[in-house]
Structure 1
Amino acid sequence: GHVRSDVATDNPLPTPPFWGTRVIKGIQLKEYASWLDETALFRGQWGLTKDLVESEGRPRLRGLLDRLQTDNLLEAAVVHGYFPCVSKNDDLIILDEAGNERTRFTFPRQRRGRRLCLADFFRPQEAGETDVVALQVVTVGSRIGEESARLFEADAYRDYLELHGLSVQLAEALAEYWHARVRAELGISGGDPAALDGMFRTEYQGCRYSLGYPACPDLEDRAKIAGLLRPERIGVHLSEEFQLHPEQSTDAIVVHHPEASYFNAGGRA
């Protein structure tokens, strides 16, 4: 049986600036560089100890970012869109302009606790109102991956690991930057924290869920997002295993509901 969680169904619905999709190319590094999660880069990707972050991490980061710009290795681009939708049980139903079903996503529901499901953050179909969901695919392009591969082939492993780790975090920074744009366009960015570390703790309204994470684990849903956004327009393609290529790309479902948060669903604790 379907048990809906206690998520509110009377939250205000934002009005998107447009319906459908837009492609944005040629985004400059300076626009999204400030969204780089340096802790994830220095400690996570590069494995630097805390005492080496200032002496080694920052100078190497500055040097690499300069080189990426000089050698023109970044091709940041975004395709995003706003779609009318409603929910039914565990499904998020994307509608066309006439209100007919276009496609639907089925999300797992927690078996205990609040029994949350991603679908609950959207107006239920029987409420008679149309909600809005934002979708985005961002990429920093294929050149940075090609340069990483070249370093790997040349046995320059440390350089390879550094550049590869940075490329992953730059794609993530671009996704965060665009997510902030979406929140501003939906008019829900009023509560954004002033400090960036608050951003990484998601102390704001509007959650970004990437495919493959616990709330939306089904990678085959990527094909549905690709069908709606057509990311091949920015050079992003899906493999048969539903991986994004180039690898330095991310997709996301952006949920405006104020109660939206990161939660585990399904069998995992």
Structure 2
Amino acid sequence: MDRRQISSLAHTDHPVAAPLSDASVRSLLDRALPGTGARLLDLGCGSGTWLTRALAARPDLRADGVDSDAQAVAAARRAVEDAGLADRIAFHAQDAAHFDSPHRYGLVLSIGAAHAFGGLLPTLKAAEGHLAPGGSVLLGDGFWEREPGRSILDAGFAADDYEDLATTVDRVTAAGWVPLHGHISTLQEWDDYEWSWTGSLSRWALDHPEHPDHAQALETAAAHRTAWLHGYRGTLGFVTLLLRRADRA
């Protein structure tokens, strides 16, 4: 079972692949969605949850979603078919960092996908290239709530993977972006996400005892749970920022 299959199973009960509640997603979209008739782009869209929710609420919008996971994109296409949104959302199975489009977008989203671009600022640079004049970016990424200790490093993180929140925002503003809003995921949101991640994967394994990947799924869930509870819980944070450039009228 590869990483993408594991992620798909682990997100069965929490389709937003980030520590954000449904209420937080709704609130962020309410603030971020552009004016009538605009286009949205999600770079690293996964199964398309953000775009599906956005366009279900706004019948005037159109969107593109990009992800390198062909299975996730296929699931996204099925979801929008079921939701009656297939004529307004197009999904593209390719590297989001090299996506090219004739359109310019009123809102570009990239939530928890900075690794696909090589970090926070490269993600913003990629998003900027797709923006319409006056467009915004909704960006979600990690930060250190406190200095990471040995337990974090033993869980597979490096101290320079992230900065603290203030430094993270300082780097964004130094690159020419103006924060319009921010949401810091709560510990409850993190706990809900992690229990769901490990629980969904474990449930699948227990429900499929004869499957050849049964043991691997249980071991992966247990290792993830240990890394969370004994490592990054309360240390790794997640911030979602609504940003706009001051030099793009």
Normalized against structure 1, the TM-score is what? 0.25
Structure 1 or 2, whichever has the larger Rg, is 1
> Which of the two has greater helix per residue?
2
